[in-house]
Amino acid sequence: MNSPRTTLYRDKQNAKIMGICSGISDYTGVDRKWVRLGAIFLAFATQGLAIPAYFIAGAILNKKPPHLYRDVQEQKYWQGVRQSPKRTAREIRANFRDIDRRLANVETYYVSNNPRLTSEIERLR
């Protein structure tokens, strides 16, 4: 996936230090406080080895573009894509099949209940 919406960024708008935890939160959809608590736990569990990794990530990752998502619904959609692209593709295919089925039902209803349209179609054949 080559979209800017599927890239991990530093989120400086919601940052406490460098925006790494809020960027991970935006990327995964997990609440920021849980990601921050996990980072603190990881710093203690690794005896401080996670701290240089945090600053390296801060130096490597790009800042999040200011208008990456139009609204919250689009943000949730892209978080779902990042978590499970195959599931998202299945959901989109299912939505298109449902739309196609409903459109076919509307066409059938309109054509079968409209004798004038039916006669015009028959005249064109």
43: left (phi over 0), alpha (psi -120 to 50) or beta: alpha
For residue 6, give both structure tokens.
């599927």
pLDDT at 100: 92
Q: Where are the domains of the chain?
A: 1-83, 84-125
pLDDT tens, residue by residue, 73-92 = 877 777 777 777 777 778 88
pLDDT at 4: 63
- pLDDT in tens for each of the 125 residues of the chain? 456 666 777 877 777 788 888 888 878 878 888 988 998 898 899 888 888 888 888 888 877 777 777 777 877 777 777 777 777 778 888 889 999 999 988 888 777 777 777 788 788 87
Dist CA 119 CA 125 (whole Å): 10
User: What are the residues whose beta carbons fall under 8 Å from the beta carbon of 111, sequence distance 6 or more?
Assistant: 117, 118, 121
pLDDT at 99: 93
Q: What is the pTM of this model?
A: 0.55
Please give the torsion angle defined by the CA atoms of residues 68, 82, 28 and 57, in that order, rounded to the nearest 10 degrees. Answer: -80
pLDDT at 41: 92
For residue 21, give both structure tokens.
């935890």
Contact 50, 36 (CB under 8 A): no
SS3 content of the chain, % helix, strand, coil (to 5): 70, 0, 30
Q: Sign of the C-alpha dihedral, residues 79, 81, 84, 87?
A: positive
